[in-house]
Amino acid sequence: MFYSRYAPIGEQFAVPAKPNDFSNAKVILFNTELDTQLGLNWDLDTARSYLSGNRPLPGAQSVCLAYSGHQFGQFNPTLGDGRAHLIGSLITNGNEVFDIQLKGSGATVFSRGGDGLCALGPAIREFVMSKALSSLGVPSTQCLAVLSTGDSVYRQGELPGAVVARVAHSHIRVGSFQYLAMQQDSQAMLKLLELTMKDVGLQSNEITEEDIFSFFEFVCDAQCDLMLKWLQVGFIHGVMNTDNTLINGETIDYGPCAMIESFSFNRVFSSIDRQGRYAFGQQPNMASWNCGRLAESLLLLVEDEQVAIDRFSKILVGFSERFNQGYTQLWRNKLGILDEQPGDQELVTELLEIMTRNELDFTNTFASLTAIKINRQQAQYPAPHELDEWVKKWQLRIQDHESSEIAAVMQRHNPAIIPRNDLMEEVIRDFYQYGNSDVLDSWLAALSAPYNYDNYPEKWLLSQTNTKSYQTFCGT
Ligand code: AMP
Ligand code: MG
């Protein structure tokens, strides 16, 4: 039923490694929907036995993957899974391939002095954020479960330990290619390319240089589309290093991420992002930069470097063009503008400037505009006078279309509810204190239908986050 997907690339890339056996582990969060989607149908005991490192998955060998990475612009040749074990892959009845990976499952050859463990807080954060993002329509890795290990981990103090069972369509990153390029291992890279191209439905037999360019274009498109989705919902990843950039365009690594709340393209929450490299508005540039690092790695497989550099550069220009088109369309969708007219971009810019000046909440501003068009009773958020003036202009701009038509488009692009940062902290605090959270179940249910304009508790809608002092940390 399970198999070792990355074994053909070689043991230098998929290094056999056993996860810790946490004999006191307990499943504290389980994603039943995902369990069904994968066709596992596990009860909690079965889940516990496989995901606590107690029992191997039948048919698969557990490995940790090697990768390199540009971390905040600096190349680190040997990163790899320092606290994760990929315990097996599976193909569902619907013919989809998934990997199951444990994170926080003990030290590996890639730990570089780290303990290989994960604290409960970041594990819960990953569970909630990945579920919320998937429901928002953002491609993402998902969490099958979170287990408490019963052991402590030591960070700023003693914390309860946890394991996250992460599920992804693939764990191949830009950094995976960088690793094989650094090793000058063209044979292994070709195998990795074949495997990756097959998984995403590209021609993968006897790969030609043309196929390599198509592959690169596929990755650029996937990254570009992901950036537009992050922008649409107000997601700040926080650590967009090349080792955290999946080839298939899924969001991975939820360490220091956060939702934007009060709007500014310069918003940064991550404590280690001091220069704002991965600020909200910088994300598309950085995704394109990361694609550039993939192109460099792929040069290992081409005959004529100069010709290939020209082709890769053109494709990267295509990234910007695709992004710019998507960007204009995104704001039209968020504002229910159903046709194109000169001056639209100015209207958008004016709104974004008002939002920045007044520190308006990103989600609530667009949700309020949507509510006007749905014509529903919706909590009224304090609006500055200049926003009222802007709303009049906007209403004039869209007056030629039916409100119901406008509302339908806006509702699809403006979530009413997002995983707000302060609530996330509250849920994590509850888990630390009581071992569970009263808020979590009902909150998760609401987050799984974020485009429903239901009557949610005010507390879920209004931001308590102090953007000046709120900080996120890598889950180390
Ligand atoms: P991340 O910031 O989660 O993307 O991790 C960057 C690198 O550090 C990866 O190679 C991780 O495997 C490694 N790493 C992060 N935390 C730990 C830890 N607690 N123990 C060992 N390695 C870690
Ligand atoms: Mg990572």
- pLDDT tens column, 109-145: 999 999 999 999 999 999 999 999 999 999 999 999 9
What is the average pLDDT score of the chain? Answer: 95
Please identify, by atom number, the ligand 1 atom nearest to the C-alpha of residue 80.
Answer: 10
Q: Residue 343's pLDDT band (boundaries 50, 70, 90)?
A: very high
pLDDT tens digits along 276-308: 999 999 999 999 999 999 999 999 999 999 999
Q: 105 and 19 in contact (C-beta within 8 Å)? A: yes
Cα(406)–Cα(400) distance, rounded to whole angstroms?
A: 10
Q: What predicted TM-score, i.e. pTM, was given to this entire model?
A: 0.97
Give percent of the chain with pLDDT exceeding 70: 98
List the beta bridge partners of residue 64: 15
- Predicted confidence at residue 378, as pLDDT, reads 55
Ligand 1 pocket by Cβ (under 6 Å): 79-83, 110-111, 114-117, 239, 243-244, 253, 255, 474, 476
Containing 28, the helix (H) or strand (E) segment is strand 26-30
Cβ neighbours for 363, distance < 8 A, ≥ 6 positions apart? 234, 259, 261, 414, 415, 416, 417, 418
- Predicted confidence at residue 324, as pLDDT, reads 97
pLDDT at 379 > cutoff 70: no
Cβ neighbours for 107, distance < 8 A, ≥ 6 positions apart? 82, 83, 114, 115, 116
Q: 244 C-alpha vs ligand 2 centroid, how far in Å?
A: 5
Q: 243 C-alpha vs ligand 2 centroid, how far in Å?
A: 6
| Ligand 1 pocket, mutate which of 151, 179, 278, 476 (most atoms under 8 A from CB) | 476
Report angle CA 453, 456, 459 to the nearest 5 degrees. 135
Please identify, by atom number, the ligand 1 atom nearest to the C-alpha of residue 116.
Answer: 20
Q: 270 C-alpha vs ligand 2 centroid, how far in Å?
A: 14
- Predicted confidence at residue 223, as pLDDT, reads 98
Q: Residue 384's pLDDT band (boundaries 50, 70, 90)?
A: confident
Cα(122)–Cα(100) distance, rounded to whole angstroms?
A: 18
pLDDT at 108 > cutoff 90: yes
Cα(320)–Cα(308) distance, rounded to whole angstroms?
A: 19
Q: Which ligand is nearest to the CA of 472?
A: 1
Cα(82)–Cα(243) distance, rounded to whole angstroms?
A: 12
State how far the alpha carbon of 302 is from the alpha carbons of 201, 207, 221, 242, 344, in Å. Answer: 22, 11, 21, 21, 44
Q: 475 C-alpha vs ligand 2 centroid, how far in Å?
A: 9
Which residues are known to be catalytic? 243
Please identify, by atom number, the ligand 1 atom nearest to the C-alpha of residue 117.
Answer: 19
- Domain ranges (residues) in the chain: 2-168, 174-248+278-330
